[in-house]
Amino acid sequence: MKQQKAIGLDFELDKLTNSIENALTSEVFDTEIVRLTNKDSRQIRKVDWQFNWHKELKDETKEVYKLTTTNNPTIIQGLLSIEDKSDHIFMHLIESSKFNKGKEKVYLGVPGNLVAYACKVSVDKGYEGFLAFDAKTAMIKHYEQSLFATHFRGKRMFIETGAALKLISQYFKS
């Protein structure tokens, strides 16, 4: 199998919310994060997403999740691809939907919600919240400040237990 070249993530954390928040009205919407199914993937058009989510879904080493609002579970707000590394979770890809990017975005908090979920998976699996990912060099400081992530070396970063629990408590109340 051909080795996939590691790309650095460059998602921007616009705001840590307690769910997702309408950018214009500040109204908060409850969310749910569930595994993306092959049926769900039919609504993912390649032109609307930066990454090839169909390829991620086919990779059996990865789990792909979708973020939706509870009152409208058919509209995908963001996607997350993670892998269980037996002692931590590795975050391969994270992406907000096209309408949740840029100055005209509809919702704030999508990336934070997805990162918090990846940390929650780590806690649920007994890995104490440890989450690793590769960041684009220009984003390292941003992740250190916004996620309290630690720069390991090169592009590699990680979120340790204290920071993970802080993110989880921000988004998941139960």
pLDDT digits (tens, 9 = 90+) for 15-63: 666 689 999 999 999 999 999 988 888 889 888 899 999 999 999 999 9
CATH of domain 20-171: 3.40.630.30
Model confidence, pTM = 0.90
Residue pLDDT, tens place only, 98-154: 999 999 999 999 999 999 999 999 999 999 999 999 999 999 999 999 999 999 999
* SS3 assignment for the chain: CCCCCCCCECCCCCCCCCCEEECCCCCEECEEEEECCHHHHCCCCHHHCCCCHHHHHHCCCCEEEEEEECCECCCCCEEEEEEECCCCEEEEEEEECHHHCCCCCCEECHHHHHHHHHHHHHHHCCCCCCEEEEECHHHHHHHHHHCCCEEEECCEEEECHHHHHHHHHHHCCC
